[in-house]
Amino acid sequence: MPMKLICAVKFVPDPDRLTAGSQGLILNPDDTCALGVALDVKSRDPGVTIEVVTLGPLSVRPHMEDLLRLAVDRGTLIWDPGLEDGDGFVTSRVLGRYIAGRACDCVLTGTHSLDGGSAQVPVQIAESLGLDQMTGVIRIDPDRFDRTRAVFQAMDETGVTIWEMAMPGVLSLTRESGYKLPYPALTDLRRDVSETLTLLTFRDLGFSAAEVGRAGSRIRVAAANPVTYGEKDPKIVGMDDEGITQVVDFLKKQGVC
């Protein structure tokens, strides 16, 4: 029987965006690789089904629709103003409960988030589902990836290791994997996919307001002390080789590079 894959993804602020108004979003690069490997698996076996689930604001809707214009079968956007300001624990619980209600052979996620996350969400999703999880995945062997097991390579600071894990499980990719999304066909770009995108709120998943958002978060902000920057002697350098050298030397001195 073909595999059922769920990709839990996050849309993060686009660091290259200069447009005014609402903040631009992109699919988190590690999560892009997670979806990329799922689509690669499906390209080898069209019977594989892929669902993408995310938790975020309604502004991610056009981005989710773009994913559905690839070979993704179903998308779910969990949104609600009450979810705002929730920590990773709340996010993990919400996503975990949603995924628990779906038939799934493997959950694919990114390892890190571009917007400075703590990389705890994939681990906590696995915990809530009672599944094994591995971070730093850079390659999944397509010939040894099925409903019972996955053989894959994972990278950490010591090097690359080949692992075998029983499925279902959670595999978290990194951008070093190089998996990319395919280009949508021009006709698909104009396709109405609204029917394959499901919008849910936390109440649809049986949560109360006290369990989500800031109220449900385990992390509390004890105090906030705004940083005050002292006036320093500004030094203006030219955009020439000499100026670049001065900037590099300065950054080195600061330990930045």
Q: Which residues bind other proteins (CB under 8 A)?
A: 14, 16-21, 24-26, 59, 62-63, 66, 183-186, 189, 236, 238-240
Least distance CB 182 / other proteins (angstroms): 9
| Closer by beta carbon to other proteins, 5 or else 60 | 60
Least distance CB 234 / other proteins (angstroms): 10
| Closer by beta carbon to other proteins, 146 or else 176 | 176
Distance CA 122, CA 233 (A): 45
| Closer by beta carbon to other proteins, 63 or else 139 | 63
Token pair 């892009």: residue: 32
| Closer by beta carbon to other proteins, 157 or else 240 | 240
Least distance CB 186 / other proteins (angstroms): 5
Surface-to-core class of residue 21, CB atoms within 10 Å of its CB (0-12 exposed, 13-18 middle, 19+ buried): exposed
Give the burial string for 140-178 (b: 16+ CB within 10 Å, else e): beeeebbeeebbbebbeeeeeeeeebebbbbbbbbbebe
Least distance CB 19 / other proteins (angstroms): 5
Least distance CB 17 / other proteins (angstroms): 5
Least distance CB 115 / other proteins (angstroms): 16
- 87: tokens are 């920590």
| Closer by beta carbon to other proteins, 62 or else 255 | 62
Least distance CB 140 / other proteins (angstroms): 23
| Closer by beta carbon to other proteins, 43 or else 161 | 43
Of 59, 58, 85, 60, the C-alpha closest to 10 is 60
- 140: tokens are 């999944």
- 84: tokens are 């705002």
| Closer by beta carbon to other proteins, 226 or else 238 | 238
- 49: tokens are 């089904």
198 by DSSP, 3-state: which? strand
Instruction: Pick left, alpha or beta for residue 220 (phi over 0 → left; psi -120 to 50 → alpha; otherwise beta).
Output: beta
Instruction: Pick left, alpha or beta for residue 172 (phi over 0 → left; psi -120 to 50 → alpha; otherwise beta).
Output: beta
